[in-house]
Amino acid sequence: MEEQVTDQEEKKKEETSTIAREFSRDAPPILHLLVVGFHHKKGCQVEYSYPPLCPNSPSESHECPEMWKNLPSLAMPDGSHNFVEDTVYFHLPSMAHPGKTVYGVSSYRQIEAKMLSKKTADITRSTVQKAVCVLSNLPLYGHIQVKMGLITEAYFREGDFTQFMLLHDAYNNLNMCLNPDLLNSTQAIIGLPLREMLERFGHKVVQLFKLILLQKRVLFFHSPVRPLSTSILAMLALFPGVVESGLDNCTALASQPELIIAETLEIPKQFIPPPDEEPAGIFSPQNQSSVYNGLTEKLSSWKDKLAGSTKSADTPTVDATDDSKVSRESSFEDLRAPTAQEMENEKSGRISPSIVAGLPNEDCGLPLQLFGNGYLCHPYLSLSYLDLLSEPNIHGYIVGATNVLFKQKKTLFDAIIELETGRIDITDPELRRQLELTKEDMRFADHIVRLVVQDRTSNTFLDGVGWEGGDEWLRAEFKTYLLFMLRTSLMDDGCKYLDEFNPAFIQAWKATSNYEKWLETPHPAVLELHPGHMFSGQLSISDVKLKISQITQTMQNTEKGRKISNAAASTSRAVAQTSKAVGGAISQAKGALSSWWSTLHQQPTEATEEAEEALGPNGMRMSDIDLTE
């Protein structure tokens, strides 16, 4: 008995010492390169690893470290036998540094056994299923996948799976080609289908963006795995710096349950100004009623620390809730941020996203800490992980799955996203209310969808080459959207600017750990932005059309959806006649809109409830509609 205990202790020490090179200064970008195969009796198992996964074990050992015991099921996903080839992106916890992430890229192939030049004893079926897998320190998913595709193709072309020198050469070659500097380039998002996600989900991409910020329990479902895992990472790529450096802790479980109190936020003492210090600038507490205890004091302290000295007592204060633009006393040059004139886009009359997106992430508090301490991200999970999601030290997650049993466990998820249909299934009415898009959000969504689709349809040969409509342009748009939302979230409860982002969402977001951590330190570039949505403006008939489009997409082919579409058509015809009889046409248009509005308030059916949910707390008022457009 004592000998068994001693053997287990030595085994744990050996595993720790071997993987200790992870995240060390001398650690190579690629930790291991392995082959995972399917055995007709044992299932998925590691057939070869270089260097060996376990110390003092041969590379041909099937043994996996305890923390990576499910590695074979990740490298060869559920239902892989239905596909000739597939690619999987997955995450593993580091064994040397608790909380850190190891990034996996697996290239799967299935070929007929008769194509092999040398058959081993374990090949008893007509087809052979194997995956060549890489475990890396760097989240260079697409960059590694391109090289792994070539390596896997060459390995299978050999027809002899005992030729391991090819894998040794591939391991050394990958370590020479990869380095952390690639994360500072577009190589970090290569192969991630950002624009395909936009085409698949349309305006719902903005809802997904907000859903991720709320750190809920989210399931993406699809088969095969490659579009599933790449789509999840593509959504995360819309958040500045998250793919590059924000996934380092995405496998970390919570050491103890987190208690996030929404009513008050504790302010570090270093950010609380002395009692005799004069609050300065637009953040003066005398002009604002605080929602979060001490929030205005923190903002005032931020401004004072950035300026380096206090302003004089006669400095005029400006009410931040006033309709006029907030005056900017501090210089953008000191912060290396653009001036107000530089930020004016002459073509569209709005702030240029390319300029705002150029603000340094570190000055804006980015990337947001969306993951870590119980908030997980797994682009793919196998069925063996299903029970893990119900652990008490897990608070939220974004996971991808191909097994239908995940969908059947609806109590484990706040939202289920069907990648095939673009459907977002949310059962909680309160969460649906929080994710309701405002008219400004709808304008933003329409803007990016229209330009991306236009870019892909009009320039087939040069698809993605130009700036506008490309991947980097799309990331710049969402960074700008996020920065203005962060700036607006600092306003007092009841401020009109909050209505442009949905006050219910802002309130829920402020209760999350990522927002609480962002609020802990000052962010000079964000404070210099004017609060409000970058697509703010008076409600127009175009907004009505966008809202109708959103409702009809939600209601699909229901009878209520057809009635709304007919009402919308009547409205469009009425507005088109304004050139002939302005007064009469406006009256007719209002009548058509009133008819449409009453359609949504008939006896509640299932379809009617969906329509009313789509309108949400930011429903349109007839008095706000500008019919002169």
Residue 487's Cα: distance from chain center in Å? Answer: 19
Give how far Cα 75 sits from Cα of 71, 87, 407, 424, 571, Å: 6, 9, 21, 27, 54
Contact 201, 193 (CB under 8 A): no
Strand, coil or helix: what is 478? helix
Rounded CA separation 342/339 (Å):
5
Contact 125, 81 (CB under 8 A): no
Strand, coil or helix: what is 194? helix
Peptide bond connecting 224 to the previous residue in cis, omega within 30 degrees of 0? yes
Q: Is the pLDDT of residue 404 over 60?
A: yes
Rounded CA separation 412/403 (Å):
14
What is the per-residue pLDDT for 590? 53
Q: What pLDDT band is residue 186 in, cutting at 50, 70 and 90? A: confident
pLDDT in tens, 407-459: 999 999 999 999 999 999 999 999 999 999 999 999 999 999 999 887 565 55
CA dihedral 139, 143, 149, 150 (to 10 degrees): -130
- The residue assigned the tokens 């209310």 is 433
What is the per-residue pLDDT for 117? 73
Rounded CA separation 176/169 (Å):
11
Rounded CA separation 256/258 (Å):
6
Q: Nearest Cα to 398, choosing from 224, 277, 247? A: 247
Q: Is the pLDDT of residue 193 over 90?
A: yes
To the nearest whole number, what is the mean pLDDT of the chain? 75
Top mean-pLDDT range of 150-159, 234-243, 610-619: 234-243
pLDDT in tens, 456-488: 655 554 555 566 888 999 999 999 999 999 999
What is the residue type of 590? K
Strand order in the sheet with 101-112: 43-50, 30-39, 127-136, 101-112, 85-93
Q: What global pTM score does this model have?
A: 0.73
Domains of the chain and CATH, by start: 27-188 (3.30.450.200), 189-256+351-456+468-537 (3.40.50.11500)
Tell how strand 43-50 and strand 30-39 pair up.
antiparallel
Give how far Cα 49 sits from Cα of 105, 250, 366, Å: 14, 25, 37
pLDDT in tens, 225-271: 999 999 999 999 999 999 999 999 999 988 744 333 333 333 233 33
Please count the other Cβ atoms lying within 10 Å of the Cβ belonging to residue 175. 15
